């Protein structure tokens, strides 16, 4: 009897399973690459300087997406400005100040749950609360605030995780020198986890770029070109919302695919930026925190 | 208990019926002890006997542990450190601490030493330069790092890092230095250097050191306290404890029969 060969049935079984896994992987890759190629092939011919640098007019088939680009930038800035201090502050409280572990667990559980809710529900709540109750009407600001609520849990969680990576011995060393809580956090804890916070921001930016459902309710569909502060108070479509409008309501598929291609490039760029920042800060940390200022 | 038979120094820290609990576990049981000024007191005992807990209670570092509860009194120069009028950051400025594992901040050597003085409001460059040099000299590491003041402290060797941490503690001009097994993570040569340093520091500072190394306690300390399961079993001058201990358990421990 041969001892170095498995029975034929087992060999056939192994080979079959391997083939099935291989086919699954192939289909997955083909789908992803297929979508990317399809979007670029359909979209790139329509990308032109004219498209990027003008507003839409009533001339048929003349479409410009500059207002949508600006609205997207406004909404990202407005969301981050509110979101980062709130989320990071909450995380610092939970990790550094809170003593009741049960309360912390409840808040963390609530945050996990919040981040699993479909975005259209945030849109509905945002519309009722920010647009109607708070009187912001349909505006970029209402949209941005809705996105803040949507992304707060994730900013809070990433900050918390990075606070946990700062060794306890640093805190002890600073406390033992008589430093107060806030000084310890500001000088020893935060410099050690700023990379985590920034990476969290970049990822949040990616999610804001991709969000449409919540904004359909709250930020509206206008394509008017405004300055930052006026823009905040006016309705406006972001790139993703504009994509929806052009494709679904105006049948302008060329413009829709052009926007899709731009969004894909942006997403790619943002993910690369997140990776680069992480490495960059890792290197910085090996060199030590920046020096405190002293008076001459 | 006190070990003042050997010295005429005044008591700087005393504890009375000090108990510490971690949740339901009692880590210290009615410890009363008087520690004389400008001397080296060694705390010995097997792991988990409460000696580190005792040390961490003296500058209220145990406040950082949520489940820790303390009863009894600790007096520093006659003042009850648990009184609400006691400012804990001031207490820790007077009673500094060096940890088991060297824990320099990931900053430059200079910033590590300047951290404490800056915390207590010193901003002038000239004053800080002065403090940094003096502290590093006192910790016998100036010659090794004088050209590396702007480099990251994490680049130093383990023994240098520990002496840097001692210098950092000295920079706020403390009265007492608490040392929690400061040489257990170091090689023999670094250990010798730190022991020599501790003996020098005795001139100006009161030192309380937790150690697992009997030889070290014998080499450097004036008084020795033996802890077992949260009890202070015996406390007296080091010579007496190591030659003619009065308690059987102390004798068993220092002769290596357990622990």
Above 80 in pLDDT, residue B145?
yes
Query: What does the pLDDT average to over A253-266?
Result: 91
> Per residue in B184-210, pLDDT tens?
888 898 899 899 999 999 999 999 999
**Closest chain B C-alpha to A280 CA, distance in angstroms:** 16
**Cα(B220)–Cα(B239) distance, integer angstroms:** 11
For B119, the closest of A171, A177, A286 (CB atoms) is A177
Residues A74 and A42 in one domain: no
Q: How confident is the model at residue B102 (pLDDT cuts 50, 70, 90)?
A: very high
Contact of B13 with B35, CB cutoff 8 Å: yes
A61: in domain: no
Residues A18 and A133 in one domain: no
Query: Which has the higher per-residue pLDDT, A68 or A278?
Result: A68
Above 90 in pLDDT, residue A191?
no
Q: How confident is the model at residue A233 (pLDDT cuts 50, 70, 90)?
A: confident
Query: What does the pLDDT average to over A147-160?
Result: 92
CB of A187 within 8 Å of a chain B CB? The answer is: yes
pLDDT attached to residue A48: 86
For B152, the closest of A180, A287, A296 (CB atoms) is A287
Instruction: Inspect the interface and report whether the beta carbons of A288 and B152 lie closer than 8 Å.
Output: yes
Reduced 3-state DSSP string for A12-60: HHHHHHHHHHHHHHHHHHHHHHHHHHHHHHHHHHHCCHHHHHCCCCCCC
pLDDT attached to residue A257: 92
Residues A279 and A186 in one domain: yes
Query: What does the pLDDT average to over B160-168?
Result: 94
Residue A180: exposed, middle, or buried by beta-carbon count in 10 A (0-12, 13-18, 19+)? middle
pLDDT attached to residue A271: 87
Above 80 in pLDDT, residue B53?
yes
Residues A128 and A213 in one domain: yes
pLDDT attached to residue B1: 58
Instruction: Inspect the interface and report whether the beta carbons of B89 and A167 lie closer than 8 Å.
Output: no
Instruction: Inspect the interface and report whether the beta carbons of A289 and B66 lie closer than 8 Å.
Output: no
pTM: 0.80
Query: What does the pLDDT average to over A155-170?
Result: 91
Looking from the CA of A202 toward its CB, the CA atoms found within 13 Å total: 19
B/e letters for A19-30, b = 16+ CB within 10 Å, e = fewer, are eeeeeeeeeeee
Instruction: Inspect the interface and report whether the beta carbons of A174 and B105 lie closer than 8 Å.
Output: yes
CA angle A231, A236, A237 (to 5 degrees): 140
Instruction: Inspect the interface and report whether the beta carbons of B116 and A177 lie closer than 8 Å.
Output: yes
pLDDT attached to residue A290: 65
Query: What does the pLDDT average to over B21-26?
Result: 92
A150: in domain: yes
pLDDT attached to residue A46: 87
A11: in domain: yes
A15: in domain: yes
Above 70 in pLDDT, residue A2?
no
Q: Residue B210's closest CA among B94, B61, B11?
A: B61
As given in the structure block, the two tokens for residue A138 are: 């349909």
Residues A111 and A255 in one domain: yes
Residue A199 makes CB contacts below 8 A (sequence gap 6+) with A158, A274, A277, A278
A51: in domain: no
A60: in domain: no
Query: What does the pLDDT average to over A236-246?
Result: 89
**Cα(A202)–Cα(A189) distance, integer angstroms:** 21
- Please give the backbone phi and psi of residue A236, each rounded to the nearest 5 degrees, phi first: -170, 145
Instruction: Inspect the interface and report whether the beta carbons of A173 and B165 lie closer than 8 Å.
Output: yes
**Cα(B88)–Cα(B83) distance, integer angstroms:** 10
Q: Residue A72: give its domain's CATH number.
A: 1.10.3720.10
**Cα(A144)–Cα(A218) distance, integer angstroms:** 9
Q: How confident is the model at residue A141 (pLDDT cuts 50, 70, 90)?
A: very high
Residue B22 pairs with which residues in a beta bridge? B25, B68
Query: What does the pLDDT average to over B151-180?
Result: 93
> Per residue in B213-257, pLDDT tens?
999 999 999 999 999 999 999 999 999 999 999 999 999 998 887
A101 interaction partners in chain B (CB closer than 8 Å): 66
Residues A73 and A33 in one domain: no
Residue B114 makes CB contacts below 8 A (sequence gap 6+) with A292, A294, B128, B131, B132, B171
Residues A38 and A71 in one domain: no
Chain B residues interacting with chain A (CB cutoff of 8 angstroms): 59, 61, 64, 66, 88-93, 96-97, 99, 101, 103-108, 110-111, 114-116, 118-120, 123-125, 128, 152-154, 165, 168-169, 172
- Domain carrying residue A34: 3-46
Query: Which has the higher per-residue pLDDT, A61 or B162?
Result: B162
pLDDT attached to residue A25: 97
**Cα(B207)–Cα(B120) distance, integer angstroms:** 22
Residue A254 makes CB contacts below 8 A (sequence gap 6+) with A42, A43, A45, A46
Query: What does the pLDDT average to over A184-191?
Result: 91
Residues A103 and A195 in one domain: yes
CB of A143 within 8 Å of a chain B CB? The answer is: no
pLDDT attached to residue A292: 61
Q: Can you tell me whether residue A228 is helix, strand or coil?
A: helix
Query: What does the pLDDT average to over B60-72?
Result: 90
Residues A7 and A92 in one domain: no
A255: in domain: yes
> Per residue in A280-296, pLDDT tens?
887 777 776 765 665 55
Average pLDDT of chain B, as a whole number = 91
Longest dimension (CA), chain A: 89
Tell me the angle at which helices B158-170 and A168-176 cross, rounded to the nearest 10 degrees: 30
pLDDT attached to residue A293: 60
Residue A66 makes CB contacts below 8 A (sequence gap 6+) with A52, A53, A54, A55, A225
Residue A226: exposed, middle, or buried by beta-carbon count in 10 A (0-12, 13-18, 19+)? middle
**Cα(B201)–Cα(B169) distance, integer angstroms:** 12
Residues A22 and A125 in one domain: no
Residues A14 and A110 in one domain: no
**Closest chain A C-alpha to B104 CA, distance in angstroms:** 7
Residues A39 and A97 in one domain: no
pLDDT attached to residue B86: 87
Contact of A162 with A193, CB cutoff 8 Å: yes
Give me the number of domains chain A comprises. Answer: 2
pLDDT attached to residue A144: 93
Instruction: Inspect the interface and report whether the beta carbons of A173 and B168 lie closer than 8 Å.
Output: yes
Average pLDDT of chain A, as a whole number = 88
pLDDT attached to residue A62: 79
Q: How confident is the model at residue B6 (pLDDT cuts 50, 70, 90)?
A: very low
pLDDT attached to residue B4: 46
Q: Which residue of B has its CA nearest to A100?
A: B66
Return the residue in B64, B119, B173 with the most chain A beta carbons within 10 A, the one to mutate for interface testing.
Answer: B119
Q: For residue A2, how far is the Cα from the chain centroid?
A: 59
Q: Which residue of B has its CA nearest to A169?
A: B103
For A295, the closest of B110, B123, B172 (CB atoms) is B123
> Per residue in A206-220, pLDDT tens?
889 988 889 988 988
As given in the structure block, the two tokens for residue A154 are: 């994730």
A200: in domain: yes
């Amino acid at each position: 009897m041969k001892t170095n060969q498995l029975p034929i049935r087992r060999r056939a079984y192994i080979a079959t399973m391997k083939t099935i896994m291989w086919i699954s992987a192939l289909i997955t890759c083909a789908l992803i690459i297929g979508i990317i190629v399809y979007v670029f092939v359909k979209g790139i011919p329509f990308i032109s300087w004219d498209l990027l640098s003008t507003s839409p007019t009533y001339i048929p088939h003349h479409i410009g997406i500059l207002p949508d680009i600006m609205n997207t930038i406004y909404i990202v800035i407005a969301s981050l400005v509110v979101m980062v201090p709130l989320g990071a502050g909450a995380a610092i409280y939970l990790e550094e100040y809170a003593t009741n572990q049960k309360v912390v667990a409840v808040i963390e559980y609530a945050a996990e749950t919040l981040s699993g809710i479909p975005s259209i529900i945030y849109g509905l709540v945002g519309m009722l609360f920010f647009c109607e109750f708070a009187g912001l009407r349909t505006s970029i600001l209402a949209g941005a605030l809705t996105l803040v609520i949507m992304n707060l849990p994730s900013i809070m969680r990433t900050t918390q995780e990075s606070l946990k990576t700062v060794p306890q011995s640093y805190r002890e060393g600073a406390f033992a020198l008589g430093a107060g809580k806030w000084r310890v956090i500001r000088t020893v804890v935060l410099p050690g986890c700023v990379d985590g916070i920034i990476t969290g921001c970049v990822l949040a930016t990616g999610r804001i770029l991709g969000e449409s459902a919540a904004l359909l309710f709250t930020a509206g569909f206008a394509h008017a070109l405004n300055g930052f502060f006026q823009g905040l108070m006016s309705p406006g479509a972001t790139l993703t919302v504009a994509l929806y409008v052009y494709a679904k309501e105006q049948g302008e598929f060329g413009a829709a695919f052009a926007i899709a291609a731009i969004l894909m490039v942006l997403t790619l760029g943002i993910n690369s930026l997140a990776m680069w920042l992480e490495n960059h800060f890792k290197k910085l940390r090996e060199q030590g925190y920046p020096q405190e200022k002293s008076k001459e | 208990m006190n070990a003042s038979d050997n010295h005429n120094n005044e008591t700087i820290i005393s504890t009375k019926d000090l108990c510490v609990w971690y949740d339901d576990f009692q880590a210290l049981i009615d410890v009363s002890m008087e520690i004389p000024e400008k001397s080296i007191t060694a705390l010995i005992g097997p792991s988990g006997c409460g000696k580190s807990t005792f040390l961490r209670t003296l500058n209220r570092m145990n406040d950082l542990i949520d489940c820790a509860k303390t009863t009894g009194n600790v007096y520093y120069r006659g003042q009850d450190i648990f009184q609400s009028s006691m400012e804990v950051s001031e207490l820790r400025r007077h009673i500094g601490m060096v940890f088991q594992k060297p824990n320099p901040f990931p900053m430059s050597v200079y910033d590590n030493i300047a951290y404490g003085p800056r915390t207590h409001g010193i901003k002038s460059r000239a004053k800080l330069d002065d403090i940094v040099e003096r502290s590093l000299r006192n910790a016998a590491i100036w010659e090794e790092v004088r050209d590396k003041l702007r480099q990251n402290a994490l680049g130093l060797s383990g023994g240098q890092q520990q002496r840097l941490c001692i210098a950092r503690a000295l920079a706020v001009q403390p009265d007492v230095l608490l040392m929690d097994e400061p040489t257990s993570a170091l090689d023999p040569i670094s250990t010798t250097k730190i022991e020599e340093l501790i003996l020098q520091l005795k001139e100006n500072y009161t030192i309380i050191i937790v150690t697992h190394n009997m030889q070290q306690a014998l080499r450097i300390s004036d008084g020795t306290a033996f802890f077992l399961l949260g009890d202070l079993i015996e406390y007296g001058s080091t010579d007496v404890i190591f030659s003619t201990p009065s308690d059987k358990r102390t004798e068993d421990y220092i002769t290596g029969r357990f622990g």
